[in-house]
Structure 1
């Protein structure tokens, strides 16, 4: 059984703390590059609960599936599309509203992973475009509402990548020369996302079981 929500914007979409999400993402990036998998997993669970309003069991299940896909992707050297079903299962575990096309969400999630790997240090623009499409699919909104949020997050990733290459300590170092700028960009990105979602047109949403 499913229940139809009133014809207003779904409260799960814009109702998150953008600064908290930015902080969680910064901590996740640092944990990833410093090879702290347990910390990374815990932060991912918290981020899923914040952004998708998932219960603890759903956030945990989704985090397991998404982490598994990310680990397999990290070890791969090609044929990346085979990871899309794994990513989709992770998003499906969140039990998002029925209007959300989880296959499309997974496709764009994977796309931004791939462009960073294939393009390298100049991937900011392409990554931002993929992230914007990811947001549009995840929140079921027109892409123009979330394009700036995507651009800023993609730029944050590029700043981090370039900074890490130039840092004598490498990716696992303190990153004093770049993390502050990355933090500013991610905070601006999530604030832009929040604003874009609040201004999106109202529409009915069916909530899953």
Structure 2
């Protein structure tokens, strides 16, 4: 029994190391937009209802199903993203919010490692945190400002001109604004509406990144 247990532990250890460190790459443009929209709506709900474990599980599902990450690596990246979200959520000022940046950056570095086409993970992480911060502060910012950041972030990840992500950004911002509008009165039907907006948003992005850029 001791030998069997030791063998199992060794196998598990090797599996985890292989899962995390053996290079695996895929085309991150190849995803199911409706599934991403559904998962994102669920993640938003977990965040607002302060359910970190459920959020990490949803992130892990997203990373494994859409980015085709190995099992243990998906949990590693899911933890980084979930940790970033709740470090930020507990923040009170910009200095506190900045503490989430290392986790966001390590998350995007991990996604970059999975991508056939590299992207500037540091730049993307900074834009992601900026999006979170202006969403939190709101004062002095307009929906157009939020859309601009989302377009810039998508452009950096997929190397496509930012203006082509206008529909994606508008729909995603509309979903977030509706979530803010409903506040504590939000209902199941409200979450369903948010999910539909996010499905449309990711469908628009999927179309952009899988359609060749027009030639002038």
Give TM-score scaled by structure 2 length.
Answer: 0.76
Give runs of aligned pairs for residues 1-209 of structure 1, distance below 5 A.
12-76=27-91, 77-79=93-95, 80-94=97-111, 95=113, 96-97=115-116, 99-119=118-138, 124-164=143-183, 167=185, 174-176=187-189, 178-201=190-213
Q: What is the distance in 1 between the residues matched to 2:44 and 2:166?
A: 22
Contact preservation (8 Å) 2:27, 2:117: no
State the Cα deviation string for residues 134-189 of structure 1 (Å, max 9, x = none).
21112222212323212211111111111125x2xxxxx5343x323312211110
| Larger Rg over CA atoms | 2
CA drift of 1:123 comes to: 5.4
| Aligned residues between the structures | 186
Q: What is the distance in 2 between the residues matched to 1:42 and 1:81?
A: 24
Give TM-score scaled by structure 1 length.
Answer: 0.78
CA drift of 1:23 comes to: 0.8
Unmatched 5+ residue regions in structure 1?
4-9, 168-172, 203-209
Change (3 A) 1:60 1:73: same
Contact preservation (8 Å) 2:143, 2:173: yes
Contact preservation (8 Å) 1:136, 1:142: yes
CA RMSD of aligned residues (A): 2.5
Would you tell me which structure has more helix in proportion to its own residues? 2
Change (3 A) 1:50 1:146: farther
2:11 aligns with none
Query: Which sits farther off after the overlay, 65-74 or 110-119?
Result: 65-74
Higher relative contact order (CA 8 A, sep 6+): 1
Q: What is the distance in 2 between the residues matched to 1:83 and 1:26?
A: 21
Q: What is the distance in 2 between the residues matched to 1:82 and 1:164?
A: 26
CA drift of 1:88 comes to: 0.8
Q: Secondary structure at the match of 2:94?
A: coil
Q: What is the distance in 2 between the residues matched to 1:57 and 1:91?
A: 16
Runs of 4+ in 1 over 4 A off after TM superposition: none
